[in-house]
Amino acid sequence: MAYQFITYAVSDRIATITVNRPDKLNALNDATITELGEAIEEARNTEEIGGVILTGSGKAFVAGADIAELSAKKPREVLALSRKGQEIFGRFESAPMPVIAAVNGFALGGGCELALCCHVRIASENAKFGQPEVKLGTIPGYGGTQRLPRLIGRGRAMQLLMTGEIIDAAEAYRIGLVNKVVPATESVVDAARAMLKQMIANGPLALMGIVETVNDGQDVTLPDALEMEAERFAELAKSTDMQEGTKAFLEKRPPQFKGA
């Protein structure tokens, strides 16, 4: 599929989606959000892809929404855009394979929200994070008010949301917003690729089960979440992959997973 505002490349079972509007610091306009949805669907529907890296070109991951476009929209159009963005960002969060955000620069506003939807976030030490929407007289519209507190805790999230403060990668790591910080002299995409290779060497059904169980368990009681875990654990016991994994462990050899 041809894209205008992103690039899409596949290598070694890994799809790399790059937001590519460097002249706009990769700001998210309506068309770019649409293309992100198409790209993650392409990855999700391609059997040989085991994982996804999401990154940005130039100095930014995604510096936020396209304010010029946003300011011209009427309230009903803003509502539709918010719902559309939430749905498309959610496709990254619910992807049945690991999705890593390789944050190479500014991840502000919608960019921070997009990173929050990925399963893991790796940041260059030059990266910056924040939800500065309050400075524009509004709030995040793509899930930031909900995912940020779930990730870093209510108090820290309220501080970032209400001050509009921008933090560096070291602080983002300290509060649990990112999983790893990479020196500026190293490629954050290469670091993401290395971690992703480690992940996709494991059973694909198990990876899918982890995504589903963690996501589904967020909004139910602990007893209900534990029951979900037990049921999926039992389901995987029926799989060829678990049989192969346990057999390979006992035979002291690498497993050969088939996703079945």
Helix (H, G, I), strand (E, B) or coil at 9: strand
Instruction: Respond yes or no: is residue 113 known to be catalytic.
Output: yes
Q: Facing residues of 10 across strands?
A: 15
What is the rounded average pLDDT of the residues 102-115? 97
Which CATH number applies to 6-200: 2.40.50.100, 3.90.226.10, 3.90.1150.10, 2.30.30.170? 3.90.226.10
Query: Range with the lowest mean pLDDT among 39-43, 81-85, 254-258?
Result: 254-258
pLDDT at 70: 82
Closest residue by Cα to residue 132 from 63, 56, 36, 33: 63
pLDDT at 178: 98
- With vertex at residue 216, the alpha carbon angle to CA 96 and CA 257, rounded to the nearest 5 degrees, is 35
Domain over 204-250 is classified CATH 3.30.110.60:
no
pLDDT at 205: 93
**Rounded Cα gap, residues 26 and 9, in angstroms:** 18
Helix (H, G, I), strand (E, B) or coil at 189: helix
pLDDT band at 259 (very low <50, low <70, confident <90, very high): confident
pLDDT at 68: 85
Residue 254 CB coordination number (10 Å): 9
pLDDT at 219: 87
Cβ contacts of residue 225 below 8 Å, gap of 6+? 213, 216, 217
Q: What is the pLDDT of residues 133-189, one digit of tens each?
A: 999 999 999 999 999 999 999 999 999 999 999 999 999 999 999 999 999 999 999
What is the rounded average pLDDT of the residues 175-204? 96
- Whether the pTM exceeds 0.85: the reply is yes
**Rounded Cα gap, residues 96 and 99, in angstroms:** 9
Q: What is the pLDDT of residues 15-64, one digit of tens each?
A: 999 999 999 999 999 999 999 999 999 999 998 999 999 999 999 999 98
pLDDT band at 96 (very low <50, low <70, confident <90, very high): very high
Q: Given a cut of 80, is residue 1 above it in pLDDT?
A: no
pLDDT at 58: 92
Provide the residue ranges of all domains of the chain, joining segments of one domain with +: 6-200, 204-250
Of the residues 35, 41, 47, 113, only one is catalytic, namely 113
pLDDT at 71: 83
CA distances (Å), origin 2, targets 6, 7, 55, 173? 9, 9, 18, 35
Q: Facing residues of 18 across strands?
A: 7, 55
**Rounded Cα gap, residues 87 and 93, in angstroms:** 10
Helix (H, G, I), strand (E, B) or coil at 6: strand
Q: What is the pLDDT of residues 109-138, one digit of tens each?
A: 999 999 999 999 999 999 999 999 999 999
176: left (phi over 0), alpha (psi -120 to 50) or beta: left
**Rounded Cα gap, residues 245 and 206, in angstroms:** 11
Instruction: Respond yes or no: is residue 229 known to be catalytic.
Output: no
Structure tokens at 50: 């085991």
Of the residues 69, 133, 186, 231, only one is catalytic, namely 133
Q: What is the pLDDT of residues 54-69, one digit of tens each?
A: 999 999 999 988 888 8
Beta strands in 110-230 (DSSP E): 120-124, 128-130, 166-168, 180-182
**Rounded Cα gap, residues 216 and 224, in angstroms:** 10
pLDDT band at 220 (very low <50, low <70, confident <90, very high): very high
**Rounded Cα gap, residues 246 and 29, in angstroms:** 48
pLDDT band at 73 (very low <50, low <70, confident <90, very high): confident
CA distances (Å), origin 203, targets 91, 97, 188, 208, 234? 21, 10, 25, 9, 15
